[in-house]
């Protein structure tokens, strides 16, 4: 990759950085999560703040727009069972909660 291309990519990465705001409810519930989920959540937050939401979604975290009573919110998979639920407002990610998803119809 040329120096010019590297500089352009670095500039794009700076623009894509995203602030993350964690709600009081999510902070309160955080202590009740297993160490594995806490670690996965912290890695996801760090990734979003460093490389941005879209790039984090492209690295293996599946981001989905939610429907029904959660319309307007999104989720990201922390593992097979747990999701971080968030919204995006004014370019910042606002964490709503981290919850276990176990009522899928298979």
Question: What is the residue-level pLDDT of the chain in tens, covering all 106 positions?
Answer: 566 655 554 444 444 577 888 888 888 888 889 999 999 999 999 999 988 888 888 887 888 999 999 999 999 999 888 999 999 988 889 989 888 887 655 4
Whole-number Å distance between alpha carbons of 87 and 103: 22
Side-chain half-sphere of 12: how many Cα atoms within 13 Å? 9
* Start-to-end Cα distance in the chain: 45
Burial string for 55-70 (b: 16+ CB within 10 Å, else e) reads bbbeeebebeeeeeee
pLDDT of res. 105: 52
Assign 3-class secondary structure to 17-56.
CCCEEECHHHHHHHCCCCHHHHHHHHHHHHHHHHHCHHHH
SS3 of 60, please?
A: coil
């Amino acid at each position: 990759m040329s120096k010019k291309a590297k500089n352009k990519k670095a500039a794009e990465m700076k623009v894509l950085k995203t602030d993350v705001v964690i709600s009081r409810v999510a902070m309160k519930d955080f202590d009740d999560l297993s160490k594995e989920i806490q670690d996965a959540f912290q890695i996801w937050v760090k990734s979003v703040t460093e490389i941005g939401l879209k790039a984090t979604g492209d690295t293996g975290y599946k981001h989905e727009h939610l429907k029904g009573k959660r319309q307007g919110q999104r989720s990201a998979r922390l593992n097979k069972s747990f999701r971080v639920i968030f919204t995006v407002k004014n370019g910042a990610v606002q964490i709503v909660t981290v919850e276990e998803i176990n009522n899928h119809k298979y």
